[in-house]
Amino acid sequence: MSAEEIIASGKLELYVCGTLPSEEISEVEAAIATYPEVQREIEAIEASLLSLAEAVAPTLPAMIWSYILAATRSVRKIDGSAPRTNWSAITGWAAAILCIVGLFWMWKQHNGLQDDIQITTTENTQLKERIRFTEGELTDANNLLAVIRSKDYKTITLPGNQAVAPEAFAKVYYNQKDKIAYIDAGGLPVAPSGKVYQVWSLILDPLTPTSVGLLSSATGTENGVFKFENIPNPEAFGITLEPEGGSETPTLSQLYTLGAVSP
């Protein structure tokens, strides 16, 4: 075959791509050695394919590039450039590149799905923690309700001191047998910075105060009710505002609420 016939036959494109039947390879290689124009056409095909790949291929991770290199190791590489292009061979290469791009898109979608699963798992864990916290609050509320309704607990209202805090009030749920008291301090104003409310068990005659404890996070619950144990037999309960840490004796000028225990 002449140089023109070999160029027009499309065998050179198949040769460059590594898909030419083995029985025709020797014919093409002989033509390359014989005709300089065939050599130049081979170089032009190689350059066109490389330019097309550079123009359409997106940035791919190293894993995808390794796949491309492995798939094209059988392609014969001939350096050089020329203006002539065979579009039938280029179409095949373009389809292969689009396939690789599709694989890369699927890989990104898979990674995105894994991220979504991780986010959902984290959200479910946080939801479970909130549910457990809410269940704990519900248990505390049910226990408090049981205390309020129990015949073993006496309800004592502590009105506000008209001279100090007339709008203030508190309630005490007192079990004389078990010496336990629950203090509902929802009617007290917020203690100023550096101050704390202190509860006192009082004997009135003569006036003998005994500290029950502080209305602090150590004794309180989320619903603003404070539990105290080992309460002596009181005749009254009082709540004063004291310096942070509490006082040994009540500051009577800061007596916010006071209520007597009925017989």
Helix (H/G/I), strand (E/B), else coil: 89:
helix
What is the CATH code for 154-260?
2.60.40
pLDDT at position 81 is: 46
Q: Domain coordinates of the chain in residue numbers?
A: 3-106, 154-260
| Residue (of 39, 37, 71) closest to 53 by Cα position | 71
Sheet holding 180-184, edge to edge: 154-159, 169-175, 180-184, 225-229
Please, are residues 179 and 231 in contact by the beta-carbon 8 Å criterion?
yes
pLDDT at position 99 is: 65
Low-confidence ranges of the chain (pLDDT < 70): 49-105, 107-110, 127-145, 218-223
| Residue (of 52, 45, 44) closest to 20 by Cα position | 45
- Distance (Å, whole) CA 11 – CA 2: 13
| Residue (of 88, 41, 257, 239) closest to 166 by Cα position | 257
| Residue (of 148, 153, 147, 150) closest to 261 by Cα position | 153
Say if residue 206 is preceded by a cis peptide, omega within 30 of 0.
Answer: yes
User: Other C-beta atoms within 10 Å of 213: how many?
Assistant: 21
- Distance (Å, whole) CA 181 – CA 147: 10
Q: Is 64 exposed, middle or buried (0-12, 13-18, 19+ CB in 10 A)?
A: middle
- Distance (Å, whole) CA 215 – CA 251: 16
Q: Give the CA count within 13 Å in the CB-facing half-sphere of 250.
A: 26
pLDDT at position 20 is: 78
Q: At what angle do helices 87-149 and 36-56 cross, to 10 degrees?
A: 20
Reading the block at residue 42, the tokens are 């081979």
Point out which residues pair with 213 in neighbouring strands: 199
DSSP E strand boundaries for the chain = 154-159, 169-175, 180-184, 195-204, 207-214, 225-229, 236-243, 255-260
Of all helices (H) and strands (E), which one includes residue 121?
Answer: helix 87-149
The residues, ordered by sequence, that sit 6+ positions from 204 with a Cβ below 8 Å of its Cβ are 235, 236, 260
Please, are residues 257 and 238 in contact by the beta-carbon 8 Å criterion?
yes
